[in-house]
Amino acid sequence: MTTIKRAHLIAGGFPPGSPARHDMNYARMQLLQKLDGEDNLSITVANDFQDIERWLAGADLLVTYVAGPFPVGAGNDALQAWLEAGGRWLALHGTSGGKAMKTERNGRPARMMVKGAHHETLGCFFLNHPPICAFDVTVAGEHPVTRGLPARFTVEDELYLIEMLDPSTSRILLTTELVEDFSPPGFGFVYDVDTSVLPDGKTRVLGYARDVGQGEIVYVGLGHCHTGRTGNESSVDTSIDPSGVMPPEMHNVWETEAFARLLQNAVAWGFGKG
């Protein structure tokens, strides 16, 4: 008898139905194509974590690419229990975010991310990202998800600054070097202490693996994409502006061989291969 595997994909923004300044259609289709390469696979799709406990039942792999949505209450509890029972979760990009609160910094309005219970489940917390830039990614650990990747590769992406919440049980897979957040005043999110930098004062974690009971999480902060942002819509400009002005369209990291390999590896890992 053929065994049917099942993956649940969550790709969406907040408020419900909003792309939340990302190209959710593009990311959703890219991830569906990667998943569709698996044989005997059933795929369910959602825009957020609403009623996630219904969809996790019987699922082998959860893949999330979100900007705003996060699991709360019974949903977060169900996610934790599913992981402990052997589920695997590929968490991408904005999954480490969630809710932001209004505040003030240097006399001007600002936003600060709020740490929640879902961050404890995931194992990290998003602080901010500087303007899109080119940076080197170093493969810092062996894992099925990093298999076949070059030891170092360059991407143009949002460099996520994440705080590791369970470093003793997390295995670092991807890193980069950044001594100081170069975000211009008024850009992104504010924070009181930069808890994303490692003890050497320059290394930042971009990806890690973490065991949860019999299950496992792989988080990768790479993967920004957007469309229809700013500039002349009649011509696509993918230039990088250090002031934080976005190009009208950007899918850069998704078009790299390294990120494509990483996603392909991650799907195989999600179903126990490798």
Chain segment 195-205, per-residue pLDDT in tens: 999 999 999 99
Give pLDDT tens digits for 128-156. Answer: 999 999 999 999 999 999 999 999 999 99
Burial category of 145 from C-beta neighbours within 10 Å (exposed 0-12, middle 13-18, buried 19 and up) = buried
- Closest Cα partner for 238 from 253, 223, 260, 258? 253
- Closest Cα partner for 157 from 217, 232, 235, 94? 94
Fold for 5-270, please state it.
Answer: Rossmann fold (3.40.50)
Structural domain spans, the chain: 5-270
Confidence of residue 209 (pLDDT cuts 50, 70, 90): very high
- Give the mean model confidence (pLDDT) for residues 223-246: 66
What mean pLDDT, rounded, does the chain reach? 93
Burial letters 187-218, b for 16+ CB under 10 A, else e: bbbbbeeeebbeeeeebbbbbbbbebeebbbb
Give the separation between CA 252 and CA 2, rounded to whole angstroms. Answer: 38
pLDDT at 231: 47
